């Protein structure tokens, strides 16, 4: 059985190449695509992610505004910052880096983001539109998974997809996106009984559980396709790569799989939003 490594770097590069002409056209019309990232506190991982996103913007010619708020910022103060960015016509996308400090109402902050600028797909309205099939900006990691599926011409129609994880910005929206592409979707979670038996039925597995090396190769049906959206300490995904590689017909590596495509998708959404401003 031929093994396919689903290389996210190639997919991300393809997305970025296609953005270059669109960004140039926007600039010729006096519009510079702009992404504002908000970081609250000094979480080292979050700081790294924000820096990576800023660097990716810079390489493509997208303007990046970084708003760094202190750890003690209140929910009210954060909402005021979001309101200012909502009202700034030069800002096309707003990303609130999560998690925020525990004393802040994160959901309230997400909901404050203007849906036209919700390029990370974190609002409940954005999720609802995604589920109904007309959302402009699905959550970036689920959208990235769908980009990988599309790039490698993986058919989802009639296939049984098992999503392990039900978070509001990963498990739930990717289940909805797969359902919209005519897959039969089972969404599993920490309370699911007989998880290995359910995964054994899957033609396509999406790992989004947040536990390193959680999904084992022995759980997979021979020839299953594995998309690992996990990213844990030490560059480890949610699947046990070595054993899953043996059983799978196609698999995303970690790092270099879903991650790079997630960032490229965020840039694409920002450009999409800027273009809406042009017309």
Over the stretch 6-53, which tens digit does the pLDDT of each residue have? 999 999 999 999 999 999 999 999 999 999 999 999 999 899 999 999
Overall average pLDDT of the 94-123 stretch? 97
Structure tokens belonging to residue 22 = 């669109």
Is residue 1 scored above 70 in pLDDT? no
Per-residue model confidence as pLDDT tens digits over 87-97: 999 999 999 99
Global pTM value: 0.96
- Using alpha carbons only, give the angle 256, 259, 262 rounded to the nearest 5 degrees: 135
Residue 5: its H or E element:
strand 4-5
Comparing C-alpha atoms, which of 100, 120, 108 is closest to residue 36? 120
Of 53, 159, 172, 268, catalytic: 53
Per-residue model confidence as pLDDT tens digits over 248-276: 999 999 999 999 999 999 999 999 999 99
Percentages (nearest 5) of helix, strand, coil residues in the chain: 45, 15, 40
Q: What contacts 21, CB < 8 A, 6 or more positions away?
A: none
Task: Verify whether residue 201 is a known catalytic residue.
Answer: no
Q: How far apart are CA 82 and CA 132, in angstroms?
A: 27
Percentage of the residues of the chain whose pLDDT score is greater than 70: 99
List the beta bridge partners of residue 218: none
- Mean residue pLDDT of the chain comes to 96
Of 16, 97, 159, 228, catalytic: 97
Structure tokens belonging to residue 137 = 């900006």
- Torsion-angle region of 155 (φ positive above 0: left; ψ -120 to 50: alpha; else: beta): beta
Of 7, 118, 120, 203, catalytic: 120
pLDDT the model gives residue 12: 98
Comparing C-alpha atoms, which of 141, 90, 136, 151 is closest to residue 269? 136
pLDDT the model gives residue 45: 87
Q: What contacts 48, CB < 8 A, 6 or more positions away?
A: none
Q: How far apart are CA 238 and CA 268, in angstroms?
A: 26
Structure tokens belonging to residue 247 = 């059983």
pLDDT the model gives residue 2: 78
Task: Verify whether residue 116 is a known catalytic residue.
Answer: no
Query: What's the Cα-to-Cα distance from 184 to each of 50, 127, 178, 221, rounded to whole Å?
Result: 35, 19, 8, 16
- Domain range 140-258, CATH architecture: 3-Layer(aba) Sandwich (3.40)
- Report the CATH fold assignment for 30-116: Rossmann fold (3.40.50)
Per domain, the residue ranges of the chain are 30-116, 140-258
Per-residue model confidence as pLDDT tens digits over 62-72: 999 999 999 99
Task: Verify whether residue 203 is a known catalytic residue.
Answer: no
Is residue 278 scored above 80 in pLDDT? no
Q: How far apart are CA 277 and CA 156, in angstroms?
A: 34
Identify the three-state secondary structure at position 251.
Answer: strand
Per-residue model confidence as pLDDT tens digits over 125-161: 999 999 999 999 999 999 999 999 999 999 999 999 9
pLDDT the model gives residue 156: 98
Q: How far apart are CA 219 and CA 71, in angstroms?
A: 42
When pLDDT is cut at 50, 70 and 90, the band that residue 279 belongs to is low
Structure tokens belonging to residue 213 = 């090396």
Q: How far apart are CA 174 and CA 168, in angstroms?
A: 10
List the beta bridge partners of residue 138: none
Q: How far apart are CA 257 and CA 127, in angstroms?
A: 24
Query: What's the Cα-to-Cα distance from 17 to each of 11, 23, 28, 159, 267, rounded to whole Å?
Result: 10, 10, 18, 31, 11
């Amino acid at each position: 059985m031929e093994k396919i490594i689903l290389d996210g770097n190639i997919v991300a590069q393809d997305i970025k190449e296609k953005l270059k002409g669109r960004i140039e056209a926007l600039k010729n019309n006096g519009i510079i695509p702009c992404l504002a990232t908000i970081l609250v506190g000094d979480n080292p991982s979050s700081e790294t992610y924000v820096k990576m996103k800023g660097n990716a913007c810079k390489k493509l010619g997208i303007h990046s505004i970084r708003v760094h708020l202190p750890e003690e910022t209140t929910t009210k103060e954060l909402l005021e910052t979001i309101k200012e960015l909502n009202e700034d016509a030069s800002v096309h996308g707003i990303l609130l880096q999560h998690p925020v400090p525990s004393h802040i109402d994160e959901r309230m902050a997400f909901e404050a983001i203007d849906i036209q600028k919700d390029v990370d797909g974190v609002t409940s309205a954005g999720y609802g539109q995604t589920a109904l099939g007309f959302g402009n900006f699905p959550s970036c990691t689920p959208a990235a998974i769908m980009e990988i599926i599309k790039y490698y011409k993986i058919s989802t129609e009639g296939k049984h997809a098992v999503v392990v994880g039900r978070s509001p910005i990963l498990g739930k929206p990717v289940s909805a996106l797969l359902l919209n592409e005519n897959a039969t979707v089972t969404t599993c979670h920490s309370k699911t009984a007989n998880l290995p038996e359910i995964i054994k039925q899957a033609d396509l597995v999406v790992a989004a559980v947040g536990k390193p090396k959680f999904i084992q190769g022995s759980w997979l049906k021979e020839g299953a396709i594995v998309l690992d959206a996990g990213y844990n300490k030490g560059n480890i995904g949610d699947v046990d790569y070595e054993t899953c590689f043996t059983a799978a017909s196609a698999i995303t590596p970690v790092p270099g799989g879903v991650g790079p495509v997630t960032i490229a998708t965020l840039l694409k959404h920002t450009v999409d939003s800027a273009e809406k401003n042009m017309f």
